[in-house]
Amino acid sequence: MRLGVLDVGSNTVHLLVMDAHPGARPLPAYSHKADLPLAELLEPDGTIGVSGIGRLAEVVAEARQVAEDKGVEDLLPFATSAVREAPNGPAVLHEVAAETGVELRVLSGEDEARLTFLAARRWFGWSAGRLLLFDIGGGSLEIAYGLDEDPDVAVSLPLGAGRLTGNHLPGDPPDQATVRTLRRTVRAGIARVVSDFTRHGTPDHVVATSKTFRQLARIGGAARSAEGLYVQRSLNRNALEEWLPKLAAMTAAERSALPGVSAGRARQLLAGALVADAAMDLFGVDELEICPWALREGVILRHLDQLAPG
């Protein structure tokens, strides 16, 4: 069957079309993206304004039409932190549904972490042992750990690259004092949950998903995306530490010229790097592997599991 997963994130609205059935590896058939940085476009009170709602409805309607054009049998639409945490989130969902006919399911932060962990577990398999997973989105940081397909512990922290950039990093580039203040904030936030994970033991394999980690790995020397899914890519913390002061001194335009960095994400890259560096340091991780599968694949895998007979 042909499935579509529509991800309304904090940075983009992404439709991923996949050919899938229970017991088989989902195969990507088509990808459609629209930049919509909700995490940076919120009103001062945290609400999504009228223009933002209108733009969101337009993008969702476009994605729905693309899904129909590509022969999608079942569309799985969901929204993450930007809509979840907006005070007017229910009104946003109602308006989008009225305008487009698409009823977005809001995932909790823990759901995001658990579904992303499921995708990583299926990608790496049982031989990877105990997995520790990090995912930096536009609005939140997800961390999960476990031996099975359902993690033993999963948390979501309000430390997404878009949110932090919009709230804490004015200027292009931001001044050094601002960067230091954000570094302290990020580390304090992550440090609060470290013991929830370390009491479960040392992971056998540490992995990361998300555009932010892929971009950081790329500028650190990892293979290009054009070389395929099955090329191993990793992020070394020493390389990340070397890049941090360089990224802090660059403008967004200068960052966008780096290998693998898109113009739409360049402004957020510094905040993402601060989060990645803090997570790796506080969890004692020297190197992690980039996982090609993430939340969208996890949503499809969970859907297929529910379709499988008894």
CA 181 – CA 293 distance, rounded (Å): 33
Whether residue 97 is found in the same domain as residue 131: no
Q: How far is CA 42 from CA 49, 89, 138, in A?
A: 7, 12, 13
Query: Is 87 within the bounds of a domain?
Result: yes
The pLDDT, as a whole number, for residue 226 is: 85
Residue in this structure with the two tokens 């129909």, named with its chain if needed: 68
pLDDT (0 to 100) of residue 310? 55
Domain tally, the chain: 2
Angle at 253 between CA 226 and CA 12, to 5 degrees: 60
Residue ending a domain, choose from 63, 88, 106: 106
Confidence at residue 57, expressed as pLDDT on a 0 to 100 scale? 96
Q: What is the pLDDT of residue 229?
A: 85
Domain with residue 239: its CATH number is: 3.30.420.150
Kindly state whether residue 301 falls inside one of the protein's structural domains. no
Where the chain has pLDDT below 70, the residues are 308-310
For the domain that residue 18 is a member of, what is the CATH number? 3.30.420.40
**For residue 21, what pLDDT is reported?**
86
- Residue 140 in any domain: the answer is yes
Q: Could you read off the pLDDT of 54-64 as tens digits, one per residue?
A: 999 999 999 99
Say whether both 217 and 229 belong to one domain: yes
pLDDT digits (tens, 9 = 90+) for 117-126: 999 999 999 9
Q: Are residues 45 and 155 in the same domain?
A: no
* 300 within domain boundaries: no
In a domain, 309, yes or no: no
Query: Among 106, 123, 152, where does a domain finish?
Result: 106
Verify that 24 and 171 share a domain, yes or no: no
Domain end among 60, 82, 106: 106
Q: Which residues contact 167 (CB under 8 A, 6 or more apart)?
A: none
- Does residue 198 share a domain with residue 165? yes
Residues 130 and 10 in one domain: no
At 9-46, the pLDDT tens digits run 988 999 999 998 888 889 999 999 999 988 777 788 88
Q: Is residue 302 part of a domain?
A: no
Residues 6+ apart with CB under 8 A from 293: 119, 120, 122, 123, 209
Q: Quote the pLDDT of residue 58.
A: 96
Indicate if 67 and 198 belong to the same structural domain: no
Query: Which pLDDT score, from 0 to 100, does residue 4 have?
Result: 97
Q: Which residue has the tokens 């945290």?
A: 46
Q: Say whether both 45 and 176 belong to one domain.
A: no
pLDDT at 43: 83
Same domain? For 38 and 79 the reply is yes
Q: Is residue 248 part of a domain?
A: yes
Question: Do 81 and 41 belong to one domain?
Answer: yes
Supply the range of the domain harboring residue 34: 2-106
- The SS3 call for residue 278 is helix
Same domain, 115 and 102: no
CA distances from 37 to 143, 243, 257 (A): 22, 25, 20
Same domain assignment for residues 175 and 279: yes
Any domain includes 48: yes
Q: Are 19 and 26 in contact (CB under 8 A)?
A: yes
